[in-house]
Amino acid sequence: MAVQLTWDQYNTSSTQPVVSDNQPATPKTPVTGPKSREQLHKEFIKIFDGLCHAHHRWEVWQDWTEAAAISIHNSVNYDRELEDQYLKIVSKYEREEMQQFPKLLSLATMALDTEFCDFLGTIFMELELPNKFGGQFFTPYELSKFAAQVTFSDYDSDTDEVIEFNEPAVGAGSFVIAVCEMLHEKGVNFQNRLKVTAQDSDYMVFCMAYTQLSLIGCPAQLVHGNTLKLENKQTWYTPMWYLRGFN
């Protein structure tokens, strides 16, 4: 029999605390001990594979990414329709299986607290899921870092101006995360300096980006829709967006 998990069971203290402008936001130390991103990556894969005995891998990935994103969204902006969708996902799994969902979110949280990275995008590629999801491929994080450094090479870290930028094909959030890392390396608190609009036409990818940008504490609004068609099926805001008072 499937069971619904409340947000308290899902919550992993995901967003980083807001700090002052002159103090850069830094990844937190995992409360469970000093595990490397590689170790957390392996644990995630192990738990995920355990869920795939009775379900297709692509189905488990799609369900988990959506459930995680909805849980974060509804913790700050409750939506009844999204809650119903969450319950629909939950009904497909047994109690023991659903208990693994928050563990996966916890591992993702710790990984993104340990270092800036495209944790979910990397795992997605390793699981060879692109073949199922229409050949969806994500930009390697190192390339995203290079693009971020080139794009913001002239940024003056001494200014108090808020950086507003749009990422029209956000994917799992790799480029936005790389921008956050670049600002951090310049001694800038990205939580207080960024205002991001990110968009993607793929709902599963949209959920991946929302989860990761929420977990690193990036103020962002994510739009599900085709940028070229000026399409907006729905817009979700990260917890830090609300904490900054943008809405």
Q: Tell me, what amino acid is at 49?
A: D
What is d(CA 206, CA 214) in angstroms, rounded to the nearest whole number?
A: 12
What is d(CA 224, CA 81) in angstroms, rounded to the nearest whole number?
A: 16
What is d(CA 157, CA 161) in angstroms, rounded to the nearest whole number?
A: 9
| Residue 160: per-residue pLDDT | 83
Residue 130 is classified by DSSP as G
CA 189 to the chain's CA centroid: 19
> Could you tell me the pTM of the whole model?
0.85
| Residue 56: per-residue pLDDT | 93
The closest alpha carbon to 209, from 195, 193, 196, belongs to 196
Mean pLDDT per block of 10 residues along the chain (247 residues) reads 40 43 54 79 97 94 98 98 97 96 98 97 89 71 95 83 93 97 93 96 97 98 93 96 92
| Residue 141: per-residue pLDDT | 96
| Residue 153: per-residue pLDDT | 84
125: left (phi over 0), alpha (psi -120 to 50) or beta: alpha
DSSP-derived 3-state class of residue 154: coil
